[in-house]
Structures are given as structure tokens and as C-alpha cells.
Structure 1
Amino acid sequence: MKKVEIFTDGACKGNPGPGGWGAVVRYGKHEKEISGNDPDTTNNRMEMTAAIRALNLLVEPCAVTLHTDSKYVLDGITKWVEGWKRNGWENASKQPVRNADLWHELIEAVARHKVEWVWVKGHNGHEENERADRLASDAAEAVGR
């Protein structure tokens, strides 16, 4: 399996509000930056979208190390999702899981790969996280231009 590193981030100007997502995808010496936006979204949705889009960019199964500064994404995919599945997509409060549409997309995107999830502290000088943050922020600011 090819080894790929992915660094993701999401941004929102207001929450909800105009949002953006960004990712840096690295395979060996090759890097690609991707980003996009949504005129009316939340920060959590943008964090999830960054991971989904980056994983879906890969055309074959890969061993992926995915770096995120979102505890929501990290804990959701590594801790909470199995319980949500067992409970019919209800959370511990018996309410529908928020962003279930994106959780389903993320589960599908992850299934094709061997993914190791790594949390990084945001806005702490981590070079690739800062790049992903800039891509996400620029995309959010571009909404409506």
C-alpha cells in the first residue's frame, strides 16, 4: 500500500455561517492542496468535509496518516461512531446524531483505506496544519466573492 499523509482543517466565519475546508495531501515528494467552501455551514461540517474530500482524492487503497486539529472528527470516527451505529444513529441523549450525512460519507471514505488518525493542536505552529488552516480560511472568505 502506498503511504500517504493528509493534513486537514475547517473554518467558519460565524458558526453557522460561510465556511471553508482545506487539506494538504502528501505522497512521497508529491503534495497537493485542495479546498472548497459552503455559504451556510458549521465549523464541524467543514472539518469533516476536509477529511472526506482528501480521502476521496486517493484513487487506490492507501495507508493514510490523517492529521486533524478537530477532536470532534477524531473522537467521532475513532470512539463514537460504533455506538451511533448500534443505537440507530441516536446519540447518548437519544437525539439524532448531528451531521449524520457526513459521518456516513466519512465512514465510506475511511473504509477504502487503512487510516491512522493523529490529533494536532491547532494554531500552534504545525506547518502543515497552518497550511490547511490557511486554505480553509481563504476558502471561507471567498464565499460570495
Structure 2
Amino acid sequence: MSTASRNRSNAHYFDLDLQDEGFVVVLLPRPKPAAQKEASSSSSASGGVAIGPRALPKKTVEIRAKFGVPVVFEPSDENVTPQDLFQPSYSVVTMPQVHGFLHAEDSTSLLVYTDGVCLDNGGRRPRAGCAFVFRPSTQDPPTEGSVNFRLERTGPTDEIHPQTNKRAELRAVLGAIRYRNWRQGGFRTMIIATDSDYVVRGVTRWVFVWLRDNWMRHKQPVQNKDIWEAILHEIKRWRRQGLEIKFWRIRKEWNKAASALAREGAAKVAEERFINLSGMIA
């Protein structure tokens, strides 16, 4: 068995139990193959559950957080594209009708593409840009269906942060979620489509561990905590207003428009202060 395989088999997993006030995260030992159960019986008898070289206490660890639960969007067919499921159309539940990428069978579900890039990422002159696309742009009448911008030097807490690819990806998500009052368009579900594994795994899985460990990872502060917390706050706020936000990890080739716009954003004039972007439903 490879080292990577051993690490996966010895890892813990998280069982989510949804609660009215938020969620509960329960840390459980990963189930062992039958062949390992007998070998670990002595460890279990002593009050622990053997997981590879470690033993965990039987008592589970619970974490309660006061915000809505981020959810992964999983289509029934993993090969179906966002363009197949969410086509440019108009909502039928509001007047005037709202134009966007709406689910083929549910016009109350909206998809928004997001991406962030950093030129010279990790180098001496990093320049990061962010973008999100919420509808097709049109010529007649002329309408913009996307937003792109340079990643600011400061975050929502006014602290200075380095320009990185991961931070730009997160900032694009926060910009999209805050951009409009999506509930006024009659939407009940908003799907954030991104090719960033960091974003999707972070907001739906890793954040629970960070909360348990007081935003520490390997004895170091979690990077981009300010944006993570802002995104979680927005998820909770929108959930209370009747909008559920889900995250869909899509292939890079399905996210070309947002990626190209993010690169354009990286070439814009540097922004010092964090900007609250806003637009109107139309």
C-alpha cells in the first residue's frame, strides 16, 4: 500500500448532523476493514479506538457553529456540464423577469461562475484578479453579465494580506454572494460553480476542523481566515432569508469565461482598500 493510501485509510472523517440552529460536526474514526478489527481489539478494550499508529477516545468530538451549513451541489451525472443544466433564461416568478443561468427544471435555482488567478503567484510581483459571471452579456439592450476586479491589498477586516491565487478564488466567491439581493429575483438556491478544490473542500469540509481548532492548522493560523469567516457569515445570512448557497466543483474547461475575466482583473490598477461590490437585479 502506498504512503498516500495509508494516509487516507488512517484519516478521520466527519459526519454532519444538521440542526435547526446550525450544524453539529461529529469526529468519528474511519471504519476499519474486518481484518483489522481483531488486531485492534486490545486497543479498543483499553478505552480507545485504534486508527493506524494512533488511538482516539471513544467519545466523539462535537462542534457547534451558529451559521448555515455549506452544501456541495452534486448532479446525478458527474459528466453533465453546467451549460447543460443551467441555461441562459428568464425567471418566471418575478416581474420584471430576471435574466441568468437558471436550472432547466427549476427557475428558482441560479448558477454563478467564479474564479480567481494570481500572476507571478508566489513570486516577487504577484498580481491577483477575481471574477464572477452571473448571466450572459447582451448587445441589445447592452447589459453586463459579469464583474472582474483586482484583488485588494486589505481584506474585510482592514488587515493587509498577500496577493495569492487561493485568496483571489475566495474573494471572487465573496464578491458574487454579496453582489445583489438574490432573493429579490425569486431565487431559492444559488450554486457557486468554481474549478477551485480549495474553495469547495474548504467551505464544505475543512472549515469544520478549523473551527474546532480555533482557526489553527499545524500550529499555524489558517490563511485567509477573514474571507472564510465573511463567506460563512453570508451563507448564514442568506439562509435566514430563504436562499440556500451550494458549491459545485467544476472542470477548468467549464469555467473558461470566469478564468479569462479574472486574468483581466489581475491586470487592472492595484486596489488598496477592500471594496463592497453591488449591483441591481435585472
Same fold (TM over 0.5): yes
Q: Deviation at 1:108?
A: 1.4
Between Structure 1 and Structure 2, the one with more helix by share is 1
Q: Deviation at 1:134?
A: 1.1
Contact 1:18 1:143 in 2 (8 A): no
Q: Deviation at 1:94?
A: 2.2
- Normalised TM-score (structure 1): 0.85
Q: Deviation at 1:60?
A: 4.3
In the other structure, the counterpart of 2:263 is 137
Provide closer, same or farther for how the CA distance between residues 79 and 104 of structure 1 changes in structure 2, counting only shifts above 3 A. same
In the other structure, the counterpart of 1:34 is 147
In the other structure, the counterpart of 2:134 is 25
> Is the partner of 1:143 in helix, strand or coil?
coil
Q: Deviation at 1:31?
A: 6.9
The one-letter code of the counterpart of 2:145 is: K
Matching of residue 43 in structure 1 with residue 165 in structure 2? yes
Provide the C-alpha distance between the structure 1 equivalents of 2:222 and 2:231, rounded to a whole number of angstroms: 14
Q: Deviation at 1:143?
A: 3.5
In the other structure, the counterpart of 2:225 is 100
Residues 20-67 of structure 1: per-residue CA shift (max 9 Å, x gap): 00101149xx97201110375100010001100000013144411110
Q: Which runs of 5+ in 1 are unaligned?
A: none
Contact 1:7 1:132 in 2 (8 A): yes
Match among 154, 176, 180 for residue 58 of structure 1 = 180
In the other structure, the counterpart of 2:113 is 7
Provide the C-alpha distance between the structure 1 equivalents of 2:182 and 2:250, rounded to a whole number of angstroms: 26
Provide the C-alpha distance between the structure 2 equivalents of 1:26 and 1:94, rounded to a whole number of angstroms: 42
Greater relative CO (CA pairs within 8 A, separation 6+): 1
Contact 2:191 2:247 in 1 (8 A): yes
Provide the C-alpha distance between the structure 1 equivalents of 2:269 and 2:129, rounded to a whole number of angstroms: 8
Task: Report the RMSD for the aligned CA atoms in angstroms.
Answer: 2.3
Query: Which range is displaced more, 41-50 or 7-16?
Result: 7-16
Contact 1:4 1:26 in 2 (8 A): no
> Is the partner of 1:67 in helix, strand or coil?
strand
Number of aligned positions between the proteins = 138
The one-letter code of the counterpart of 1:77 is: V
> Is the partner of 1:66 in helix, strand or coil?
strand
- Percent identity for Structure 1 against Structure 2: 29
Runs ≥4 in structure 1, deviation > 6 angstroms?
none
Q: Which runs of 5+ in 2 are unaligned?
A: 1-106, 137-142, 154-161, 271-282
Provide the C-alpha distance between the structure 2 equivalents of 1:109 and 1:4, rounded to a whole number of angstroms: 17
Contact 2:149 2:268 in 1 (8 A): no
The one-letter code of the counterpart of 1:25 is: F
Provide the C-alpha distance between the structure 1 equivalents of 2:163 and 2:260, rounded to a whole number of angstroms: 18
The one-letter code of the counterpart of 1:37 is: R
